[in-house]
Amino acid sequence: MPSKQSNKAIFLDRDGVINVDVGYVAAVDDFKFIDGVIEALIKAKQKGYLLVVITNQSGIARGYFSKEHFLTLTQWMDWSLADRGVDLDGIYYCPHHETKGIGDYKLACNCRKPKPGMLLDAIGELGIDVTQSILIGDKISDLQAGITAGVKSNYLVRTGKEITEEGRALATAVFDDLASIIDML
C-alpha cells in the first residue's frame, strides 16, 4: 500500500527568500518580490512540488503590526502569486516570541523556527514526504527547523540575511537566490 506521505514540497521562508526583507514587512507598500522569484515558483510547480510558506512573524508578537495586518498582506501576496500562475499549497506562520512577545503572543511555542512545528503541521496536513522535499531559507533557524523536521535538503539563499559560517556548515548548499535552486532541481 502506498505511503500517505507522497507529496514532494518546497518549504519557503518568506522574508529574504520570496520578498525583499526590509524588516517587519506588514504592508503591501513594503512588500516587493525578489527578482526572479515568481518565475522560479512557476518552474517549481511545473516540476511537481507543493509550495509551502513557513514564516516567523514576531512583529505580531512585538506589537509592531496586528495579526489582521499580517493576514491582509498574506492574502494580497497569495492573490498576487495566483494572478501570475503560482498557487501556494500552504501558508504557515508563527505570531509568537518567547521573550519579546506581548500578552498572549509571549509564548514558548513549537511553531517558531528553529522549532519544527509549522513544518510538521504542513507535513501532516498536506501528506508531504520529507525525503523528497527541500527547505529554502536565509538564516540558521530556517535550516534548524528543516533538519529537525527531517527535510532531506536544506538550502540557504544570499537574498536575505548575511550567510554565516555556522549557516554554511548546516546548509546542504548555499545559492545566490531561489531561482538558482529551482534550476538545479
Write out the catalytic residue numbers.
13, 15
CA 20 from chain centre, in angstroms, equals 13
For residue 182, give the nearest of 19, 47, 91 by alpha carbon.
47
Q: In whole angstroms, what is the distance from residue 57 CA to residue 23 CA?
A: 11
Give Cα 133 to chain centroid, integer Å: 13
Pair 41, 165: CB distance under 8 Å: no
Question: Phi first, then psi: what are they for 15, rounded to 5°?
Answer: -70, 125
Residues in the chain, overall count: 185
Q: How far apart are the C-alpha atoms of 79 and 74, rounded to whole Å?
A: 9
